[in-house]
A and B are shown apart, each in its own frame.
Chain A
């Protein structure tokens, strides 16, 4: 091969594609220890063309996850640290007047990358937040009346810190909905933590990380995920779940039709990664807390203390057809 870049040897068969995903899971697992489930969910989100919201306390490896994801998949990566003085132009970019050419030249902002880490997204003002969220939704930005497409694939990993309440602007429900999944990372288990403490510096490991796939491969993977079989009984199941969330006394606002779409899209990616012959109810259950957790609004007097408990309650209450 003249190009010398093995990344661009596109895996043609579905098996080869699955191998690429497996490899990515493996290398990511070496850096982020003991968080296989979260890695799998993050990959699912990416393959389902959705955006990911990581919500957890600082120091649990949110940034590390996003960075290593970008690195392992060979995507261009930019990080935007959201602060209260962040302006939309800081995200999208600005047109600068060039004196020698007498013309305005567009200076693309960090949003023109394939993978963006929007760190502590709830610290910025709603105006800045909505600039990013609009870009996520439209896959394009409009600057000075000109529409500019964003690169493909385009994947946003936003993090937010639930503990901070002062000086933050929590994302409203309508904007949370833009994220396919909301994932919490949680503390590592003891063995993993021990290795984190005594082992190599993760940052150095990240630098050494060799990409296992490329943007092209990712696009192919996304296409294959789309083709994952969705059977009638499975749709029955999804509808039963959605209906339950709308009718349950514990839930004030249930899953919207867009939420149901998101559920199936995420489950498709999960079933692809798991090499299932179609989307199984198991896939739905695996992604359900991440996909539905931030979309459900629990009733005021609910006995469930966290969204994940509520989600588990939903899963335990709906029969699988």
Chain B
């Protein structure tokens, strides 16, 4: 085994800080996802390596490095109990890059490190591709390029020079990147699937509803989905985004259980009338299967998506990445006008429920009412007229939450009202269920689209009435009509603003938020959502007939070749002939004008004398030109020498 010199000679001092910076910036987006010890080890190794170089110390021996590598590998294995996938993969990559620093003694090792940096940067895109990823990508590539150029820079070259050179190179490459992005054929079925990062938490609504679930969501500004309507945006009171339906109550929690698959499929039990709305939803990843659509969706474009028996849309596979789909909805609809008896029984069941006071109240109110609809009105009136309040911070409820809410606390959020309402309906023998989803949404005037946030999460009821079918009732609107008209945040602000210590956002801030959101929507639409369909329509818009992948590839090759030629020509033009050489070119033109041939070693003055004698050109002009030429070519460099020379040449006729 050949012994390698272990000492460092400080020769990397010039480029090492930049290499470290490149590694650091490539690690940056991984830090929130990595266990803290990996970041710590990374910083430690970087500092250690820098000190070694600075003080001309020895690099750690083979045994120490091997030991560290083993420890780190086991650490990753212990943390993730796996070494495949985005999480453990990037962790392993980061820690091994840090360890690679400890054996970096030559330029070749630095090249490897910079390749790892690029790989780390790219792997961060497996996790998320936000709008700000773009400036991050550009910035980090710029630093990596600078580090690259620093390695080959001379001692007198400043970092600034390397930086501008790197920037220029990226600028030259930018049109190529754009061409690749636009033209490289997009495939409907990708060659590979991005491994899902299982560390991401499930977001949005869950399959169950117990008190407090939605109010915790209500504090989240995170975007659930964005909607772009083809025509007018429907009124807030029509914007009920159906998610999932809860039909089982165990006395405390509402949960989901599927309806027995008998009778007509759900979609055939719907009849619609009136105006339709068609729109495109861009749904953020939820890791759940629910596909949100406005009541009542009649057609949708998302693949592998079905309508459940309770008219909820779901995809067969969880939504792990942002998806976009088109939907057509009809706000006026009737559903399941005939409900089999066993189903009616199922929708009135109150298993293991102890909320006796509420049940008694319901039965008493039903008896007092003339019909089911009168009863519903009476319950809503009760919520409206009695001392019920809408608040995001309801007091805790006891073991009988419905009783506690209806009789004692009287304060709650949509889920409390929906839960209590459904309970009362079922107690009175009316089939009822809870729909979870979103309601309302904010219109972004910048992008013209609707933003639906987690804070718009909502729960409402559907009751089944003979001949009407399932009929939507929103008890929350009885208590807090502003929740429906102006959104959850505004409705709750009165109640919580003071206790949470924030006031209504200023107009400017809101404007900025909306602008940012509009940019994000565009980014999602056009950059991340640039799939086969968008590519096709975009290329058609650019004028390509019937874009096929063959055509795209050919065009791509042509564009790439043209760009390379273009950049080369640009660089050639940028290299302007020095002024002195241009003077020489002008002199050659002058010689041509005289019709004589300049002898080898003949000075300009000698030639001028000969030209004055032998050619028909005026001697004064020749002398003037010769003087101007000698000034321009051999005199001190001045700005106007060339101008005078050109003028003098023009005068030689």
Contacts and interface: CB of A to CB of B under 8 A. Distances in A.
B635 interface: yes
Q: Which of B599, B600, B605, B634 has the most CB of A within 10 A?
A: B634
Given A231-B580, A233-B580, A233-B584, A277 B631 contact: yes
A232 B634 CA distance: 8
Contact of B600 (A229, A277, A279, A316): A316
A222 to B, nearest CB: 19
Interface in B199-243: none
B603 A285 contact: yes
B635 A229 contact: yes
Interface in B609-653: 630-631, 633-636
A139 B603 CA distance: 36
Interface in A271-306: 276-282, 285
B630 A280 contact: yes
A280 B636 contact: no
Contacts of A315: 601
Nearest to B641: A277
B644 to A, nearest CB: 11
Nearest to A279: B634
Contacts of B378: none
Given A231-B580, A232-B580, A277 B636 contact: yes
Contacts of A1: none
A234 B606 CA distance: 17
Interface string A24-43: 00000000000000000000
A285 B606 CA distance: 11
A318 B580 CA distance: 19
A225 to B, nearest CB: 15
Contacts of A234: 634
A146 interface: no
Nearest to B607: A320
A319 B634 contact: no
A318 B600 CA distance: 6
Interface string A188-232: 000000000000000000000000000000000000000001011
Given A231-B580, A233-B584, A320 B636 contact: no
> From DSSP, what is the main secondary structure of chain A's interface residues?
loop
> From DSSP, what is the main secondary structure of chain B's interface residues?
helix
B601 A319 contact: yes
B386 interface: no
B313 to A, nearest CB: 77
Interface residue tally of chain B, by bracket?
Answer: 10 to 19
Contacts of B600: 316-319
Contacts of A316: 599-601
A179 B584 CA distance: 35
A233 B577 CA distance: 13
Nearest to A281: B603
Contact of B633 (A231, A285, A318, A319): A231
Contacts of B604: 280-282, 320
B148 to A, nearest CB: 33
A186 interface: no
Contacts of B633: 231, 233
Contact of B601 (A231, A232, A318): A318
A101 B601 CA distance: 66
Given A233-B580, A277-B635, A320 B603 contact: yes
A319 B584 CA distance: 13
Interface in A244-292: 276-282, 285
A159 to B, nearest CB: 31
A321 B587 CA distance: 11
B636 A278 contact: yes
Contacts of B606: 282
A281 B584 CA distance: 13
Interface string B579-595: 01000100000000000
Contacts of B601: 285, 315-320
Contacts of A285: 601, 603
A107 to B, nearest CB: 49
Nearest to A227: B636
B600 to A, nearest CB: 5
Contacts of A229: 634-636
B502 to A, nearest CB: 70
A236 B156 CA distance: 26
B545 interface: no
A231 B641 CA distance: 14
A317 B602 CA distance: 10
B603 A282 contact: yes
Contacts of B630: 276-278, 280
A278 B606 CA distance: 17
Q: Which of A279, A281, A285 has the most CB of B within 10 A?
A: A281
B591 to A, nearest CB: 12
Nearest to B633: A233
Nearest to B629: A280
B572 to A, nearest CB: 21
A315 B580 CA distance: 22
Contacts of A276: 630, 634-635
A282 B634 CA distance: 11
A229 B637 CA distance: 9
Contacts of A319: 600-601
Interface of A: 229, 231-234, 276-282, 285, 315-321
3 tightest CB-CB pairs across the interface, nearest first? A277-B635, A278-B634, A278-B635
20 contacts: A231-B580, A231-B634, A233-B633, A276-B630, A276-B635, A277-B634, A277-B636, A278-B630, A278-B631, A278-B636, A280-B630, A282-B606, A285-B601, A285-B603, A316-B599, A316-B600, A317-B600, A319-B600, A320-B603, A321-B584
